[in-house]
């Protein structure tokens, strides 16, 4: 009598759902690789290490903002204040730079933390819609940045502050290292901590999460605080890169960060998403921008057109995949 036990047959429906989930979470990576290969074939200068380094550096500021935005969207919310927080962050960092590197980073990050705290409290305690709260914050922060900086640049003494954003480590730009380290930490937090599990749970079903003992209000406030703080950090690094603060910096980041997250497989309805997907979305937008620059004859408007097309396609594909998983 044979001792070999036949493996149970896999349910076709279960196999299909796994494949759908894999496409939803990893599809952006495939698209990114295909886009990069196509760009490399069309433009010989595209795959050069220096150009790749420049693409990631240019995308690093949006990338940091997209980490916080991804957490918020997975939780089922939106943060429209991040773009203005980046602009205000550059101004605060430029003013604080003469007092040292620590002050230059602490000022915008503390401001971002405060804004996230206020947003979170209004959403949780006053039960206001995230869209309205963060849109109001967008307008207020933009006005504050203009008041502090006016229409001119606030020049920051580069020194060590500038070297952090413009320097290299083992031949790789510091901003590249910072971006990938930040995403690595964010992925660990999202997938390996109780906080990350709570973010997924709230995005999936807030009431069920509350019944299971998740401190929904506390997690929501903390998530908006993280988003604001990372936007402040992005502003500080951008000021260090430019050696100046500019109130208009970060304009459009609020929508671009949502686009990057959605292109990367994060559901707008919440409960689904990965940091790897969000990073892929950010880099894909960076590749699009670089290709437009390589062409040279196209205006920056084409970047917005291409980004919008990718976003629309991603939402359509996600809707279809969601129906497949539900069926």
The answer to whether residue 30 is domain-embedded is no
* Burial of 246 per CB tally in 10 Å (0-12, 13-18, 19+): buried
Q: Please count the CA atoms within 13 angstroms of the CA of 261 that sit on its side-chain side.
A: 32
Domain contains 311: yes
pLDDT-derived band of residue 83, with 50, 70 and 90 as boundaries?
A: very high
- Domain of 112 in residue numbering reads as 47-319
CATH number assigned to the domain comprising residue 83:
1.10.3470
Mind listing the pLDDT tens digit for each residue in 209-252? Answer: 999 999 999 999 999 999 999 999 999 999 999 888 899 999 99
Confidence of residue 1 (pLDDT cuts 50, 70, 90): very low
pLDDT tens string 127-166:
999 999 999 999 999 999 999 987 667 776 667 777 888 8
DSSP per-residue codes, 89-108: HHHHHHHHGGG-HHHHHHHH
**Six-digit token pair at 40?**
């490399």
Domain contains 37: no
- Give DSSP secondary structure letters for 192-221: HSHHHHHHHHHHH-HHHHHHTT--HHHHHH
Please state the domain count of the chain: 1
- What is the rounded CA–CA span in Å between residue 228 and residue 30? 30
Give rounded-to-5 percent helix, strand, coil for the chain: 75, 0, 20
State residue 305's pLDDT score.
75
Print burial letters for 281-308: b (CB count within 10 Å at least 16), e (below 16): bbbbbbbbbbbbbeeeeeeeeebeebbe
Can you tell me the distance from the alpha carbon of 68 to that of 223, in angstroms, rounded to the nearest whole number? 7
In a domain, 33, yes or no: no
Measure the N-to-C terminal CA separation of the chain; round to a whole number of Å: 42
Is 216 among the domain residues? yes
In a domain, 25, yes or no: no
10 belongs to a structural domain: no
Domain presence at residue 79: yes
* Predicted model pTM: 0.88
pLDDT (tens digit per residue) in 32-59: 888 889 889 988 888 899 999 999 999 9
């Amino acid at each position: 009598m044979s001792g070999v036990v036949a493996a149970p047959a896999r349910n076709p429906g279960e196999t299909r759902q796994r494949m759908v989930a894999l496409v939803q979470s990893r599809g952006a990576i495939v698209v990114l690789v295909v886009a990069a290969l196509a760009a490399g074939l069309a433009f010989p200068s595209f795959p050069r290490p220096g150009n790749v380094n420049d693409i990631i550096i240019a995308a690093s500021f949006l990338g940091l903002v997209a980490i916080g935005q991804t957490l918020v969207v997975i939780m089922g919310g939106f943060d429209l204040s991040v773009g203005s927080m980046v602009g205000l962050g550059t101004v605060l960092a430029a003013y604080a730079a003469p007092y040292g590197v620590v002050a230059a980073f602490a000022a915008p990050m503390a401001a971002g933390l405060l804004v996230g705290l206020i947003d979170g409290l209004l959403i949780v305690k006053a039960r206001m819609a995230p869209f309205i709260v963060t849109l109001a914050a967008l307008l207020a922060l933009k006005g504050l940045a203009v008041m502090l900086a006016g229409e001119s640049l606030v020049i920051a003494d580069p020194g060590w502050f500038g070297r952090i954003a413009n320097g290299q480590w083992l031949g790789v730009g510091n901003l590249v290292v910072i971006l990938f380290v930040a995403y690595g930490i964010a992925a660990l937090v999202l997938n390996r901590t109780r906080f990350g599990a709570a973010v997924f749970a709230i995005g999936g079903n807030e009431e069920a999460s509350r019944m299971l003992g998740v401190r929904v209000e506390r997690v929501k406030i903390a998530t908006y605080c993280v988003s604001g703080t990372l936007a402040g950090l992005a502003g500080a690094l951008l000021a260090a890169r430019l050696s100046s603060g500019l109130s208009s910096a970060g304009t459009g980041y609020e929508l671009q960060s949502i686009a990057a997250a959605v292109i990367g497989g994060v559901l707008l309805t919440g409960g689904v998403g990965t940091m790897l997907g969000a990073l892929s979305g950010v880099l894909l937008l960076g590749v699009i921008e670089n290709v437009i620059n390589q062409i040279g004859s196209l205006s920056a408007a084409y970047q917005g057109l291409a980004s919008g097309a990718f976003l629309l396609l991603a939402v359509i594909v996600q809707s279809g995949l969601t129906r497949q998983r539900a069926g």
